[in-house]
Amino acid sequence: MKIGVLALQGAVAEHIRSIEAAGGEGVGVKRPEELQDLDGLIIPGGESTTIGKLMRKYGFIDAVRAFSEQGKPIFGTCAGLIVLADRIDGQEDAHLELMDMTVARNAFGRQRESFETDLDVKGIDQPVRAVFIRAPLIKEVGPSVDVLSTYKDEIVTARQGHLLASSYHPELTDDYRLHAYFLDMVKEAAAAKS
Ligand SMILES: NC(=O)CC[C@H](N)C(=O)O
Protein backbone atom coordinates (compact mmCIF):
# COMPACT_ATOMS: atom_id res chain seq x y z
CA MET A 1 0.00 0.00 0.00
CA LYS A 2 1.42 3.36 -1.04
CA ILE A 3 0.65 6.17 1.38
CA GLY A 4 1.35 9.82 0.59
CA VAL A 5 2.17 12.36 3.27
CA LEU A 6 1.21 15.89 2.27
CA ALA A 7 4.59 17.62 2.29
CA LEU A 8 3.72 21.32 2.25
CA GLN A 9 4.56 21.95 5.90
CA GLY A 10 4.85 20.01 9.15
CA ALA A 11 5.89 16.58 10.45
CA VAL A 12 6.37 14.73 7.14
CA ALA A 13 9.46 12.52 7.64
CA GLU A 14 8.12 11.15 10.94
CA HIS A 15 4.88 9.99 9.28
CA ILE A 16 6.81 8.32 6.45
CA ARG A 17 8.93 6.49 9.04
CA SER A 18 5.84 5.36 10.99
CA ILE A 19 4.01 4.16 7.86
CA GLU A 20 7.06 2.14 6.83
CA ALA A 21 7.40 0.72 10.35
CA ALA A 22 3.75 -0.34 10.12
CA GLY A 23 4.43 -2.17 6.83
CA GLY A 24 3.37 0.36 4.19
CA GLU A 25 5.27 2.45 1.66
CA GLY A 26 5.42 6.17 2.52
CA VAL A 27 6.13 9.05 0.13
CA GLY A 28 6.07 12.84 0.46
CA VAL A 29 3.54 14.59 -1.78
CA LYS A 30 4.26 18.06 -3.13
CA ARG A 31 2.02 18.25 -6.20
CA PRO A 32 -1.65 17.30 -6.68
CA GLU A 33 -0.79 15.04 -9.66
CA GLU A 34 1.12 12.81 -7.25
CA LEU A 35 -2.15 11.80 -5.57
CA GLN A 36 -2.99 9.65 -8.60
CA ASP A 37 -1.03 6.56 -7.69
CA LEU A 38 -1.62 6.66 -3.93
CA ASP A 39 -3.83 4.33 -1.92
CA GLY A 40 -4.10 6.64 1.08
CA LEU A 41 -3.08 10.12 2.24
CA ILE A 42 -1.87 11.58 5.55
CA ILE A 43 -2.23 15.27 6.33
CA PRO A 44 0.36 15.96 9.04
CA GLY A 45 0.53 18.32 12.00
CA GLY A 46 2.02 21.79 11.66
CA GLU A 47 0.04 24.99 11.38
CA SER A 48 -3.41 24.51 9.87
CA THR A 49 -3.71 28.08 8.54
CA THR A 50 -0.41 27.68 6.67
CA ILE A 51 -1.23 24.18 5.40
CA GLY A 52 -4.68 25.37 4.24
CA LYS A 53 -3.19 28.39 2.48
CA LEU A 54 -0.58 26.27 0.67
CA MET A 55 -3.21 23.69 -0.28
CA ARG A 56 -5.26 26.44 -1.92
CA LYS A 57 -2.21 27.89 -3.63
CA TYR A 58 -1.10 24.56 -5.15
CA GLY A 59 -4.53 23.25 -6.10
CA PHE A 60 -4.78 20.59 -3.41
CA ILE A 61 -8.27 21.43 -2.12
CA ASP A 62 -10.20 20.07 -5.12
CA ALA A 63 -7.64 17.31 -5.73
CA VAL A 64 -7.92 15.94 -2.17
CA ARG A 65 -11.72 16.21 -2.29
CA ALA A 66 -11.68 14.15 -5.50
CA PHE A 67 -9.31 11.66 -3.84
CA SER A 68 -11.79 11.31 -0.97
CA GLU A 69 -14.70 10.90 -3.37
CA GLN A 70 -12.95 7.83 -4.80
CA GLY A 71 -13.24 6.36 -1.31
CA LYS A 72 -9.50 6.56 -0.69
CA PRO A 73 -8.65 6.91 3.01
CA ILE A 74 -7.27 10.12 4.52
CA PHE A 75 -5.73 10.48 7.99
CA GLY A 76 -5.36 13.96 9.51
CA THR A 77 -3.22 14.46 12.62
CA CYS A 78 -3.37 17.62 14.74
CA ALA A 79 -3.34 20.47 12.20
CA GLY A 80 -4.34 17.79 9.64
CA LEU A 81 -7.46 17.08 11.70
CA ILE A 82 -8.34 20.79 11.57
CA VAL A 83 -7.84 20.78 7.78
CA LEU A 84 -10.30 17.84 7.41
CA ALA A 85 -13.07 19.39 9.51
CA ASP A 86 -16.33 20.82 8.20
CA ARG A 87 -16.32 23.54 10.86
CA ILE A 88 -13.64 25.39 12.86
CA ASP A 89 -14.83 27.05 16.06
CA GLY A 90 -14.56 30.86 15.86
CA GLN A 91 -13.48 30.87 12.21
CA GLU A 92 -15.71 31.63 9.29
CA ASP A 93 -13.95 29.40 6.79
CA ALA A 94 -12.85 25.80 7.04
CA HIS A 95 -10.47 24.03 4.62
CA LEU A 96 -11.35 20.65 3.06
CA GLU A 97 -14.76 20.34 4.76
CA LEU A 98 -14.73 16.55 4.54
CA MET A 99 -15.52 15.41 8.09
CA ASP A 100 -18.76 16.24 9.82
CA MET A 101 -17.31 17.76 12.99
CA THR A 102 -16.58 21.07 14.67
CA VAL A 103 -13.03 21.49 15.96
CA ALA A 104 -11.51 23.98 18.38
CA ARG A 105 -7.90 24.97 17.81
CA ASN A 106 -5.26 25.20 20.58
CA ALA A 107 -7.89 23.84 22.90
CA PHE A 108 -5.87 22.53 25.81
CA GLY A 109 -4.80 25.87 27.28
CA ARG A 110 -1.47 27.54 27.67
CA GLN A 111 -0.04 25.64 30.63
CA ARG A 112 -0.87 22.38 28.85
CA GLU A 113 0.64 23.40 25.49
CA SER A 114 2.22 19.99 25.09
CA PHE A 115 1.93 16.75 26.99
CA GLU A 116 1.99 13.00 26.48
CA THR A 117 -0.50 10.43 27.62
CA ASP A 118 -1.76 6.89 27.00
CA LEU A 119 -5.15 6.72 25.32
CA ASP A 120 -7.68 3.96 24.94
CA VAL A 121 -8.58 3.84 21.25
CA LYS A 122 -11.56 1.83 20.04
CA GLY A 123 -10.32 -0.95 17.74
CA ILE A 124 -6.80 -1.04 19.22
CA ASP A 125 -6.09 -3.48 22.07
CA GLN A 126 -3.69 -1.69 24.40
CA PRO A 127 -3.55 2.08 25.11
CA VAL A 128 -1.86 4.19 22.44
CA ARG A 129 0.94 6.64 23.29
CA ALA A 130 -0.16 10.13 22.23
CA VAL A 131 1.81 13.38 22.02
CA PHE A 132 -0.31 16.56 22.13
CA ILE A 133 1.27 19.81 20.88
CA ARG A 134 -0.96 22.91 20.90
CA ALA A 135 -3.59 20.38 20.04
CA PRO A 136 -7.11 20.90 18.76
CA LEU A 137 -10.08 18.98 20.12
CA ILE A 138 -13.27 17.84 18.47
CA LYS A 139 -16.18 19.75 20.01
CA GLU A 140 -19.02 18.09 18.23
CA VAL A 141 -19.52 15.35 15.65
CA GLY A 142 -22.31 14.45 13.22
CA PRO A 143 -24.17 11.11 13.23
CA SER A 144 -21.86 9.43 10.70
CA VAL A 145 -18.76 10.06 12.80
CA ASP A 146 -17.54 7.35 15.18
CA VAL A 147 -15.71 8.57 18.31
CA LEU A 148 -12.62 6.36 18.81
CA SER A 149 -11.15 8.02 21.90
CA THR A 150 -11.58 10.78 24.42
CA TYR A 151 -9.20 12.54 26.78
CA LYS A 152 -10.81 14.10 29.87
CA ASP A 153 -14.21 13.80 28.19
CA GLU A 154 -13.06 15.62 25.05
CA ILE A 155 -13.04 13.82 21.70
CA VAL A 156 -9.50 13.36 20.38
CA THR A 157 -9.79 10.52 17.81
CA ALA A 158 -12.63 10.09 15.33
CA ARG A 159 -13.46 8.17 12.18
CA GLN A 160 -16.03 8.82 9.47
CA GLY A 161 -15.92 5.87 7.06
CA HIS A 162 -12.63 6.23 5.17
CA LEU A 163 -11.58 9.36 7.09
CA LEU A 164 -9.54 9.24 10.31
CA ALA A 165 -8.52 12.15 12.56
CA SER A 166 -6.43 12.49 15.71
CA SER A 167 -5.80 15.59 17.85
CA TYR A 168 -2.34 14.32 18.71
CA HIS A 169 0.83 13.22 16.93
CA PRO A 170 1.07 9.41 16.69
CA GLU A 171 4.13 9.82 14.44
CA LEU A 172 6.27 11.27 17.26
CA THR A 173 6.38 8.00 19.21
CA ASP A 174 7.60 4.47 18.51
CA ASP A 175 4.03 3.27 18.76
CA TYR A 176 2.96 2.52 15.16
CA ARG A 177 -0.43 1.01 15.87
CA LEU A 178 -2.53 3.99 14.76
CA HIS A 179 -0.62 3.96 11.46
CA ALA A 180 -1.25 0.21 11.27
CA TYR A 181 -4.95 0.89 11.92
CA PHE A 182 -4.94 3.42 9.05
CA LEU A 183 -3.16 0.92 6.77
CA ASP A 184 -5.95 -1.57 7.53
CA MET A 185 -8.50 1.07 6.45
CA VAL A 186 -6.51 1.53 3.22
CA LYS A 187 -6.41 -2.22 2.57
CA GLU A 188 -10.17 -2.50 3.18
CA ALA A 189 -10.87 0.38 0.79
CA ALA A 190 -8.63 -1.15 -1.90
CA ALA A 191 -10.27 -4.58 -1.47
CA ALA A 192 -13.75 -3.04 -1.74
CA LYS A 193 -12.75 -1.55 -5.11
CA SER A 194 -11.37 -4.66 -6.74
N1 LIG B 1 0.79 20.39 16.44
C2 LIG B 1 -0.08 20.95 15.63
O3 LIG B 1 -0.33 20.47 14.51
C4 LIG B 1 -0.68 22.20 16.14
C5 LIG B 1 -1.88 22.69 15.36
C6 LIG B 1 -1.94 24.20 15.42
N7 LIG B 1 -2.07 24.67 16.77
C8 LIG B 1 -3.07 24.73 14.55
O9 LIG B 1 -4.00 25.27 15.04
O10 LIG B 1 -3.04 24.58 13.36
The reply, when asked if residue 134 is annotated as ligand binding, is yes
- Flag whether the pTM goes above 0.95: yes
Residue 112 assigned to a binding site: no
The residue whose CA is least distant from atom 5 of ligand 1 is 79
Does 3.40.50.880 match the CATH number of domain 2-193?
Answer: yes
Whether the Cβ atoms of residue 5 and residue 16 lie closer than 8 Å to each other: yes
Burial status of residue 129 (CB atoms within 10 A of its CB: 0-12, 13-18, 19 or more) = middle
Q: Which of 15, 95, 162, 169 is catalytic?
A: 169
pLDDT tens digits in sequence order for the chain, 194 residues long: 999 999 999 999 999 999 999 999 999 999 999 999 999 999 999 999 999 999 999 999 999 999 999 999 999 999 999 999 999 999 999 999 999 999 999 998 765 689 999 999 999 999 999 999 999 999 999 999 999 999 999 999 999 999 999 999 999 999 999 999 999 999 999 999 87
- Known catalytic membership, residue 162: no
ipTM above 0.85, yes or no: yes
Which class for 9: exposed (0-12), middle (13-18), buried (19 or more C-beta within 10 A)?
middle
Torsion over CA of 189, 139, 148 and 2, rounded to 10 degrees?
A: 30
Catalytic one among 14, 15, 95, 171?
Answer: 171
